[in-house]
Structure 1
């Protein structure tokens, strides 16, 4: 079943690429606005070998990494505290749920006013994008720990630390990884969007520049590179999440 699903997914991707190539080559779609993959892919390869583009890409990757290193432990800690403290949970969790439902892009001008247009602003906005989904997912992970396991641990005299390290952590880890994966997606999106809005360096800045100057092959090549990198990160975390889940039920 798993192999069949993979084959279907590969066939779908290949079909979409062929349809894109056919539509551009036969002028069903304007090739000036949508250059075919046979043009975009070589441009993407050329960009990856260009030192200037590597600097822009490296800037984005560094900002994303710093943002997730801040957001992951901070969001996890906040989520645990809000669930473990009923008073704080009732007071603050509705706030996190409310902000999570609001498009974060509307807050970007505020971040520019507070942090300027440099490195700090991109990292802060990436943290802001990822934090809420990590907090909410962590809260769900803590609340979802089976009560029977906790009662058994207490019956055997487990300390609070032992309960957390042996029961909570093992039960929560798959959901925590899922929250990290989703937070990483929001983080990447936030950093690139902030770079597109105003930045001197970064992948988002190059995408905005190429779009404004009508450099469509470079624009689609940059989008392709961003998409591939995001998919790689997402699938790596998904694989880790599956392995952890399999280990729990072994």
Structure 2
């Protein structure tokens, strides 16, 4: 399918969703107190973007998410490369990462709170915990997808292990790793927001939880839309870069 046609269809689906939302509210099928009009939600979202306190909460969340991904990415890639390249250790530890990828990580949040308290480090650590299993599994798959002949050829020409990693593994793995990083970022953002909603005094999840408890539906939906837009922008930026570095595979 033509990329422009695909984007047009995606935009039409989003527009149709908000149009259906507006029509449902306008026809009084749902109480406006439970589902306010989308125009009110977007107006409140732009008001939040102009509010210093809301921007502070958003900045805290972005800082936590950024630090978490900066810390977890090299750890996840290194672990995945090691387990994907070494048959013995891979056979021993791959099942653990596959198993943990399917376990809901939210059940571990109380452990992080007991161990690290309620501060910045706890939310960063929980975001890393949410993302690392997806990233390691993707890195394992990426390492195993590298043709063995490429590695043997590089070794036959006298390439060192560092040169093999840099010139063979990394180019062949990069697009798959970026796909795992893109998915891991979603888990990272979800984990940070969930930790902020559960117990926190700063971050976007904190006012979202308060709006929900105070039945401020307009602000609640505005916060959800804002968090969703941030996630979508991060996801699409990584998808674009993933396409750029993986174009040679086509």
Q: Which interval holds the TM-score relative to the shorter structure? A: over 0.9
Structure 1 vs Structure 2 CA RMSD: 1.2
Alignment of 1:63-102 (within 5 A): 63-102=64-103
Give the corresponding residue for 2:6: 5
Q: Matched residues in 2 for 1:124 and 1:101: separation? A: 19
**How far off its partner does 1:155 sit?**
3.4
| Structure 1 residue 153, shift from structure 2 partner | 2.4
What is the match of residue 196 of structure 2?
195
Secondary structure of 1:29's partner?
coil
* Residue 159 of structure 1: how far off its partner (Å): 2.9
- The runs of 5 or more residues in structure 1 that have no matched partner are none
Identify the range of structure 1 (39-48 vs 143-152) with the bigger mean alpha-carbon deviation.
143-152
TM-score scaled by length of structure 1: 0.96
**Length-normalised TM-score, structure 2:** 0.96
1:39-88 deviation digits (Å, cap 9, x = unpaired): 10010000000001011111111111111111111111111122233222
Mark the runs of 5 or more structure 2 residues left unpaired by the alignment: none
Point out 4+ residue stretches in structure 1 off by more than 4 angstroms. none
- How many correspondences in the alignment? 249
The 2-side partners of 1:204 and 1:236 are apart by 23
In 2, Cα distance between the equivalents of 1:64 and 1:157?
Answer: 41
For the pair 1:234 / 2:235, whether they are aligned, the reply is: yes
User: After the TM superposition, which of the residue ranges 182-191 and 153-162 deviates more from structure 2?
Assistant: 153-162
Query: Corresponding residue for 1:184?
Result: 185
Q: What is residue 146 of structure 1 aligned with on the other side?
A: 147
CA distance in 2, matches of 1:3, 1:92: 43
Q: Aligned-pair distance for 1:30? A: 1.5
Instruction: Note the 1:83-162 alignment, pairs <5 A.
Output: 83-162=84-163
Q: CA deviation at 1:224?
A: 0.5
* CA drift at 1:124: 0.7
Secondary structure at 2:246 match in 1: helix
Per-residue Cα deviation, 1:87-120 (whole angstroms, up to 9, x for no partner): 2212222111111110000111111111111111
1-side partners of 2:161 and 2:104: how far apart?
38
Query: C-alpha separation between the residues in 2 aligned to 1:55 and 1:232?
Result: 19
Distance of 2:202 and 2:166 partners within structure 1:
42
Task: Give a deviation string over 1:110-150, Cα, whole Å, max 9, x none.
Answer: 11111111111101100100010111100110010012322
